[in-house]
Structure 1
Amino acid sequence: MSTTNTTNETNVTSTRNATSGTVRVAAGALAALLLLAGCSSKAKDDDGNDKGGTAAGEVKTGEGISGKTITLGALTDMTGVYATLGKSVTQAQQLYVKQLNADGGVCGYKVALSVRDHGYDPQKAASGYTELAPKVLGFVQFIGSPFVAAVEKRIDGQDKALVLPQAWSSALLGSSYIRVIGSTYDIETINAVDFLMKEKGLKKGDKLGHVYFEGDYGESALLGSKHIAKEAGLTVVEQKIKPTDNDMTAQVAALKKAGVKAVVISAGPRQAASLVGVAAAGGFDVPIIGNNSAFAPQLLATQAGPALLKNYYVASPSLPIGADTPGAQKLVADYKKAYPKDSLDNGVVAGWTAASAFGEALKKACETKDLTREGVDKALLTIDALDTGFGTPQNFTDPKAASSKQSVILQPDKSVTGGMKVVQEADASDTATQYTPGA
């Protein structure tokens, strides 16, 4: 797909010998009609190249718009540690785009997704970003906090294209173009530990285990557990792991020996399943809670399933896909119709929410007749209460803050759509409300 922003150039001419008043009137009327339809040529610079703007009265456009198509990028993981998440996020966004286009698109433009699978590999993520950055208006998906952080300087300094990542590291806050949707991992972890203290018996003086991925994701979550531990009189026992570590036997042994009373896991679904399963097999009967990306309903069909149903919880930035809301019910029906062979999980919610946020920014940018990267970014800054039907309105007006400080606490349940039920509605703990990332 061409990434050069072009418009149809129409020249209305008459022959040198046309002296008829009728011809002149018709030509003038046609020229006026074309102007009203927004078909005049783009402005050119001194070398004859497109400036990216348009003539008076038209929608201003730039990178990522070719002909009548707006192209958005999606850097996902369909073959790595977050394969189930990546598939669900991507398909939900493709569904959103299909419905948006069926409703007429944006400003007369159709929207298209250009998807690349990086397999949670840093080199593939970087090369995928390098390939897509010049070709897209922005990114509606970018899985992996470390990978987003690795190209943050290019995003802010060179490309200046809006990125809505499926990544919740607090280190991403403050960027003019990277906007975290929902609570960041540190805030989410604070809310998770608050739940353990209020509902699961964790108390002052206890030890709290924290198993976490090395890198931006895990270390952002660790900031949260350390902060609330300091506030609440807990001691954090750390266990750092790599994304390639799938057997949590050693970590469980260390935490059991240390005498921890509860565990937070900031890793992937495989690591969470291993941790919970090994703990149950070894008689290590403590509550375990994961960050939002540390579960997939497919785990309930594995040997770890019974243990997950008993002792595992997840902190989420929104209600689950099986929520009893009109928005959730419609999305479930639409997704099942579009992808009848695929299971439903909270990746669908994450993908839909990000696509909705980008879509709303595009619509507002259309209203101001500025579909450039800068125009779309400015448009997102005007959205202060986006509600996609999953319980947590999103406020994008402050780039230095997460769009929400609320978390929903979920528990695995085979009997509900998506395999997760709500045990605590969306809420921000007092500690999270008073907490400022990076302070």
Structure 2
Amino acid sequence: MIDRRRRLAALAGGLAAGLVLAACGSTADSSSSGSGAGGIKTGEGVTDTTITLGVMGDRTGVFKNLGDALIGGNELWVKDVNAAGGICGRQLALEIVDHGYKADTAKTLYPQLEPKVLGIVQLLGSPVLAALKQNLIDDNVSAAPASWSSEILNNPNIMMIGTTYDLEIVDGLSYLQQQGLIADGDTIGHIYIDGEYGGNGLRGSQYYASQHDLTVQEAKITSTDNDLTNIMTGFRGAGVKAIVLTTTPGQTASAMANNAALGLNVPVLGNNPTFDPALLDSPAAAALDQLYVAASSAPFSSETPKAAEVAAEYKATYPNSPVNAGAQAGYVEGLVWQAVLERACLNGDLTRAGVQTALKSLTSVTTEDLVAPLDYSVPGAPPTRGVYIAKVDPNAEGGLTEVAPLFTAPEAAGYKAPHQQS
């Protein structure tokens, strides 16, 4: 992240300039494009005192537990930044809306939110991102997606936080093979939701299979299919040695229960949204011991110092909220936005165009190992290729124990994302 001394200097400069303006009798906020406090160019969502960012999350849909934790992480980041003096002489504020993981609801909410914000610190869900893609481009709104499909990286306004679903699977399968759980020539199964999320995870399986002579048994489902018995029975007949899931947590429960009941008992690898700690209280709880999860951000129980700090702050602030890795993921969304805003401040431009310029200039955003260092300078490329590998553990807070810290598979280096330009 930008050097601390430069941040403090920029902050001090903004405050000093604000005092000069006050001495001259200027108290008006600057909300339209023009010069604001500190001589900073401003536009939508930015006044002399406040930078407002949007959140389009899920508090009532199929990912509501993850969504609540993500929003909690966003809010903790805002609290911490404001307590330290804000950014560019301004305090941060969030405008939060709940789309319930419904694209049509998001389309209705977006026009109400867009004029109020500089950008979006969290935009959850592949269907929602697909529905709003052109809106983001037309309005030049930068958004950090709580969705990790590499298919969306052809949108210049996307600020990907971490790696993508396809690379999560490449890394995860490589980890399983390094552990001796699969071998070249094996058959694996992949259950995936029809759409961008599921299809992108499948892309990772197909790529890894091409590198290791694996056969992939593909099973496409919808987001509302919750009984996977027939698919798992088919996998048993095909002799799969491992199963990959790009599914909802409820579908993960069905797959894991059948993995045990049908006697497969093979390792199962899931993308980061496939697990919810609530599964530990479900009928499938006893069958979750074979589930591995590949994710860009650290599990809630991680002993990485920053992850542990965020976890403690989250529990103290939200004692009755869901405990899962969304807390750290939401916080790190904020940290990346912080790096972008600090660079934009140094550039003297807190407009939406200024945010875009700042983002594309960042080649190594660090987040104290909440995610791997991020490089936004290559159009269409995932900003990192590293993940944490975790395994279900009912004794761990958040239900996952880290088994591989910031793991990057050798195969991941050679993978070219769909819209990667170099």
> Does 2:352 match 1:373?
yes
CA distance in 2, matches of 1:93, 1:42: 25
CA distance in 1, matches of 2:405, 2:121: 27
Consecutive unaligned residues of structure 1, counting only runs of 5 or more, are 1-31, 44-49
Show CA shifts across 1:81-122 (max 9, x none).
111110000011111112212222222322111111111112
Q: Secondary structure at the match of 1:70?
A: strand
What corresponds to 1:24 in structure 2? Answer: none
CA distance in 2, matches of 1:230, 1:388: 34
CA distance in 2, matches of 1:162, 1:130: 15
* C-alpha deviation, 1:287, in angstroms: 0.9
* C-alpha deviation, 1:432, in angstroms: 0.9
Q: Root-mean-square deviation (CA), in Å?
A: 2.2
Structure with bigger RCO (C-alpha 8 Å, 6+ apart): 2
Aligned length: 400
> Does 2:99 match 1:118?
yes
Residue type of the partner of 1:90?
I
CA distance in 2, matches of 1:408, 1:367: 33
What corresponds to 2:40 in structure 1? Answer: 59
> Does 2:298 match 1:319?
yes
What corresponds to 2:21 in structure 1? Answer: 34
Residue type of the partner of 1:222?
L
Show CA shifts across 1:160-186 (max 9, x none).
011000011111113221121111111
Which of residues 354, 362, 370 is equivalent to 2:341?
362
Q: Secondary structure at the match of 2:41?
A: coil
Q: Secondary structure at the match of 1:410?
A: strand
> Does 2:184 match 1:204?
yes
Q: How is 1:39-438 mapped onto 2 (pairs within 5 angstroms)?
A: 39=26, 52-54=33-35, 58-66=39-47, 68-156=49-137, 158-308=138-288, 310-383=289-362, 384-390=364-370, 392-438=372-418
Show CA shifts across 1:297-347 (max 9, x none).
121122211211x21110111321221122122112211211122242111
Q: Secondary structure at the match of 2:272?
A: coil
Q: Secondary structure at the match of 1:322?
A: coil
Residue type of the partner of 1:346?
A
* C-alpha deviation, 1:188, in angstroms: 1.0
CA distance in 2, matches of 1:159, 1:360: 22
TM-score (structure 2 length as normaliser): 0.89
* C-alpha deviation, 1:37, in angstroms: 7.0
Residue type of the partner of 1:379?
A
Q: Which runs of 4+ in 1 moved over 4 A?
A: 35-38, 40-43
* C-alpha deviation, 1:348, in angstroms: 0.7
Consecutive unaligned residues of structure 2, counting only runs of 5 or more, are 1-18
Distance 1:56 1:421, change over 3 A: closer
Q: Secondary structure at the match of 2:394?
A: coil
* C-alpha deviation, 1:58, in angstroms: 1.4
TM-score (structure 1 length as normaliser): 0.86
Residue type of the partner of 2:188?
L
Q: Secondary structure at the match of 1:108?
A: coil
Distance 1:338 1:223, change over 3 A: same
Distance 1:271 1:329, change over 3 A: same
Show CA shifts across 1:180-221 (max 9, x none).
111111111111111222224312222110000111111111
- Greater Rg by CA: 1
Residue type of the partner of 1:205?
G
Residue type of the partner of 1:159?
D
* C-alpha deviation, 1:148, in angstroms: 0.7
CA distance in 2, matches of 1:352, 1:42: 28
CA distance in 2, matches of 1:299, 1:339: 20
Give the % identical residues.
38
* C-alpha deviation, 1:67, in angstroms: 5.8
Distance 1:175 1:36, change over 3 A: farther
Distance 1:98 1:256, change over 3 A: same
Distance 1:125 1:193, change over 3 A: same
What corresponds to 1:28 in structure 2? Answer: none
What corresponds to 1:20 in structure 2? Answer: none
Q: Secondary structure at the match of 1:113?
A: strand
Residue type of the partner of 1:397?
S
